[in-house]
Amino acid sequence: MKYALFLGCTIPVRLNNYEISARKVAETLGIELVDLKGAGCCGSPALWSIDETSALAIAAWNISMAEDSGLDIMALCTGCSEILEKANKKLKENPQLASKINQILKNVKREFKGSIEVKHFIKVLAEDFGIDNIKKFIKKRFKGLKVAVHYGCHLLRPSDILKFDNPENPAVLDKLVEITGAESIYWPLKLWCCGAPILAIDEKISLSMARAKIESAKESGADCIVTVCPFCQIQLDALQPEISRIAGKQYNIPVLLYPQLLGLAMGFTPEELGLDLNKIPADNLLSFLSKV
């Protein structure tokens, strides 16, 4: 099992813990990740809403590099995954549009062929590798750990294009969490946006949305939040001290990226998974671990 790894912009700069943990987990599972050298921005959800042609051209440029290697793309960022999947599908289904984009790509000596697929890391784990197969690699199990699973917006929508899980009642990430022995709990704001998309527009509203989610998770009895979106991770983890300051109380709820949670259950140390790079310490979660 082999994929072209698309890291995007945010993960290499701000979330090395995501890359570190994902690579560790993938290597152990026997999933080979080939770095997509020369890749740039995915085309950005923001740019798509302003200039779709430019976004499509940028996405197609990245996709064409993976096509040269003959490998499907595996993205860690849900925003990147959404844009690349959306562009890939749109260009495959519209030859006239693909021709227009290829005219642009000629300037950089690239061509979109439509020969590969784009998948998020979670889709690779759940559908390509298989949840039952992952269970074979579990060395430790969490006992009594209650997890608030946060899907984020881009993993599920637009649902007609991504076709991943039920956007109104998703379950795949919950199942992936529960193979570690942890319990995925019900919490009222599970499917709410974290507020990250409007952080640069209205910080007050953005952080109030994140605060509402954190409080919902805490009040529902969660010991931690688990997500797969880098922007959600930054919003709920890196900005949590500022949210606590504004609220006038400390939440101190750890926010883990899924491969960090899975990696702990696979026997990796916190340091090997970059947990020391998380803003909110997660040391207390180790007390829930026991050998299988």
The predicted structure's pLDDT at residue 116: 98
Alpha helix (H) residue ranges in the chain: 10-14, 16-29, 45-50, 52-69, 78-93, 95-105, 121-123, 131-135, 159-162, 172-178, 203-219, 230-233, 240-247, 258-265
pTM listed for this prediction: 0.96
The predicted structure's pLDDT at residue 46: 85
Instruction: Note down pLDDT in tens along the chain; length 292 residues.
Output: 999 999 999 999 999 999 999 999 999 999 999 999 889 999 988 888 899 999 999 999 999 999 999 999 999 999 999 999 999 999 999 999 999 999 999 999 999 999 999 999 999 999 999 999 999 999 999 999 999 999 999 999 888 888 889 999 999 999 999 999 999 999 999 999 999 999 999 999 999 999 999 999 999 999 999 999 999 999 999 999 999 999 999 999 999 999 999 999 999 999 999 999 999 999 999 999 998 7
Cα 266 to Cα 222: distance, rounded to the nearest angstrom: 22
DSSP 8-state secondary structure symbol assigned to residue 169: S
The two domains 2-120 and 138-291 share their CATH topology (first three levels equal):
no
Domain 138-291: CATH architecture, name and number where available: 3-Layer(aba) Sandwich (3.40)
The predicted structure's pLDDT at residue 228: 97
| Annotated domain spans of the chain | 2-120, 138-291
* Torsion sign (Cα): 100, 155, 37, 116: negative
Alpha helix (H) residue ranges in 167-291: 172-178, 203-219, 230-233, 240-247, 258-265
User: What's the CATH fold of domain 2-120?
Assistant: Glutathione S-transferase Yfyf (Class Pi); Chain A, domain 2 (1.20.1050)
